[in-house]
């Protein structure tokens, strides 16, 4: 469970034992009344599993296929073989003047290290 889910669990336990009202719980968690009712109802019916985010462990809908990632990393290794590692793929003043042939925005490439692999 994340910290957010643990906090919801502690608040929902207090609501269940009638220490705190649902209105006080929504103020503590910063949720709307409707959201608070929904997660509390799910907690009562499913237990702790009802508080865990439903899309945990799933891939996002906007992800690129693995073949595309391999193609981009291969292009980086071929194009920048022999470059020294600085604070990114380029030293200051060495940025390429044209767009990359594989068409990936710069923000996407920021995590790639000098070997073309992502540390994350």
φ, ψ for residue 98, nearest 5 deg: -120, 165
Angle of the 3-16 helix axis to the 22-29 helix axis, nearest 10:
170
| Share of the chain residues as helix, strand and coil, in percent rounded to the nearest 5 | 50, 0, 50
Separation of alpha carbons 8 and 5, rounded Å: 5
Q: Are 73 and 89 in contact (CB under 8 A)?
A: no
pLDDT for residue 84? 62
| Tens of pLDDT, residue by residue, the chain (120 residues) | 778 878 888 888 888 888 988 888 888 888 888 988 888 888 888 888 887 877 777 888 888 888 998 998 898 888 877 766 555 555 656 665 555 555 666 556 555 555 555 554
Q: Are 62 and 35 in contact (CB under 8 A)?
A: no
């Amino acid at each position: 469970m994340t910290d957010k889910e643990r906090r919801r669990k502690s608040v929902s336990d207090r609501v269940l034992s009638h220490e705190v009202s649902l209105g006080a719980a929504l103020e503590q968690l910063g949720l709307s009344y409707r959201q608070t009712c929904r997660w509390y109802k799910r907690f009562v019916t499913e237990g702790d599993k009802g508080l865990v985010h439903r899309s945990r462990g799933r891939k996002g809908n906007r992800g690129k296929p693995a073949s595309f990632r391999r193609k981009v990393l291969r292009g980086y290794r071929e194009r920048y073989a022999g470059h020294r590692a600085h604070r990114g793929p380029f030293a200051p003043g060495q940025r390429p003047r044209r767009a990359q042939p594989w068409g990936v925005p710069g923000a996407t490439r920021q995590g790639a290290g000098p070997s073309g692999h992502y540390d994350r």
